[in-house]
A = this chain, B = another copy of it.
Amino acid sequence: MTEPLEVGVLGYRFMGKAHANAMARLPMFFPDAPEIERSVLVGRDEEALEDAADRLGFDSISTDWEAVVDDVDAFYNLGPNHVHPGPSIAALEAGTPVFCEKPLAPTLEDAERMAQAADDAGVPAGTAFNYRFVPAIQYAKGLLEAGELGEIRHVRGRYLQDWLVDPEAPWSWRLDEEMAGSGVLGDLGAHTVDLVRFLVGDDDLAGDIERLSGHLQTFVDERPVEGEEETRPVTVDDAYSAQLEFENGAVGTLEASRYATGHKNDHTIEIHGSNGSLRFSLERLNELEVHREGDRGYETILVTDADDPYVDHWWPPGHVLGWEHTFVHENYEFLSSVEAGSEFEPSFADGLAAQRVLETIVESDERGEWLALE
């Protein structure tokens, strides 16, 4: 009998909870997943760490990530963006597989160093684009790969939230460029760019994004600090949009906003090909709308049948899954790769590729012109 994999996790807030929950659920629903131990939870504030480790089921805590990355069988980097490069690269240099939240890094250069480190290490290094693991998205991927949509002509992606609609909503660290890296572009746009690459990036679909025009906008320049009389500047983007042109001539538009009144977490992908189309929205994540050759409209498919991706692990047809299940699937795949020593996708290379698109959007916005992806 093999020893369980010891997992170290840096970060214990939203993402820490999402991944800890995913790990906790594996044995009951994915009995062939590797056995793991939530071994050590890493952070800076010991008291908060103790409390979180208790809630999230970790054996121990540490404030010294340098020691941890060496020690564990897999290292999860769920800290804020600017903490991604250092510990991730250190872990890889120690030969420890790494799973890192998105966007991969605060700068393109950091992302390149991280991808290089992953390459050099030759161990699984994953970027946490969890929306690849929605059953409906996997099902869509299958349709696309089987050529059911034909050659791709149009791609449309948008991610709409509304939590900054009120100009008096308080300032937060997410609105500060130093701390957050970027605004919606990294937080929401990274997801969309990855889904677009994942779904239509194959050469016989649309291929790579070849050139783009990007636009960033900040609607409210400063916001009140909660409980204080001062305001602080907003130094990140409140919304972005982009026009894309792909290798094969397909065109696309991307968008995200935190000012989309009435939308909570509306991540939408629409694709039109020469033989068919599909639509997906995260707020109805069990559904996929598909138009195939010979169809007249879209068929609304509930992707919860026993032979749909991952579904047989859960419940009978029609018993819908939630957002958090994407983390279980993602962890299952990543940890299985760690155990098998096999490659995992989305990899750091995928994270870097997405970042390159984001960076090009920023640069295009600054220059006011279309730019080719390098």
Contacts and interface: CB of A to CB of B under 8 A. Distances in A.
Given A264-B317, A369-B369, 18 more contacts: A14-B316, A18-B315, A27-B57, A28-B55, A31-B55, A241-B251, A261-B272, A263-B272, A264-B305, A265-B319, A266-B318, A295-B299, A296-B305, A297-B302, A299-B300, A314-B324, A315-B324, A367-B369
* 3 A-B pairs with least C-beta separation: A265-B318, A264-B318, A322-B322
Interface in A357-374: 367-370
A301 B296 contact: yes
Interface in A17-32: 17-18, 20-21, 24-25, 27-29, 31
Contacts of A264: 302, 304-305, 317-318
A25 to B, nearest CB: 8
Interface string A301-334: 1101100000000111111111111000000000
Interface of A: 14, 17-18, 20-21, 24-25, 27-29, 31, 55-57, 149, 153-154, 156, 160-161, 163, 165-167, 213, 215, 217, 219, 239, 241-243, 245, 249, 251, 253, 255, 257, 259-266, 272-277, 282-286, 291, 295-302, 304-305, 314-325, 367-370
A43 to B, nearest CB: 18
A296 B291 contact: no
Contact of A239 (B24, B154, B160, B276): B154
B154 A259 contact: yes
